[in-house]
């Protein structure tokens, strides 16, 4: 099982496998052709409220991660998480995000939960 996190702005690589965009909003300045996204499960992304709270600097990354994990327990998000987990059993999966620091983003939480 291979799960990677990459910025969506980086060019696709053959070892990416299935490319899953894990941001709720389409990244600015990236065409759909250039991004080569295979799946975009929007219900798997943090809620708008949680995203705004975190980006406003109102809480720590650890608190954000806990709140995001709670959101992922909702039925639709849990089903999508299982779907992506199933993809990882078939081959490599790359989680794509526009986050400037992917290691402290929701993509890192997803990677941990999928692994």
Full residue range of the structural domain in which residue 36 is found: 3-114
Given the DSSP bridges, would you call strands 93-97 and 3-7 parallel, antiparallel or unpaired? parallel
Phi and psi torsions of 20, nearest 5°: -115, 115
pTM of the model: 0.93
CA distance 32 to 76: 25
The stretch 38-45 carries a mean pLDDT of 96
Listed in sequence order, the residues at least 6 apart from 61 whose beta carbon sits closer than 8 Å to its beta carbon are 54, 104
Number of domains the chain contains: 1
Q: Give the pLDDT confidence of 45-89 residue by residue, as tens digits.
A: 999 999 999 989 888 999 999 999 999 999 999 999 999 999 999
Residue 100: per-residue pLDDT: 93
Q: Give the pLDDT confidence of 96-113 residue by residue, as tens digits.
A: 999 999 999 999 999 999
CA distance 34 to 30: 7
């Amino acid at each position: 099982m291979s799960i990677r996190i990459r910025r969506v702005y980086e060019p696709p690589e053959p070892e990416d496998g299935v490319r899953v965009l894990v941001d709720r909003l389409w990244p600015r300045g990236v065409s759909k052709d250039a991004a080569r996204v295979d799946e975009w499960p929007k219900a798997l992304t943090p809620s708008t409220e949680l995203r705004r709270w975190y980006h406003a600097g109102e809480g720590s990354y650890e608190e954000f991660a806990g709140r995001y994990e709670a959101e992922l327990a909702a039925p639709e998000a849990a089903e999508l998480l299982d779907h992506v987990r199933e993809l990882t059993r078939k081959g490599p999966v790359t989680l794509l995000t526009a986050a400037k620091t992917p290691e402290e983003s929701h993509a890192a939480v997803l990677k941990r939960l999928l692994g």
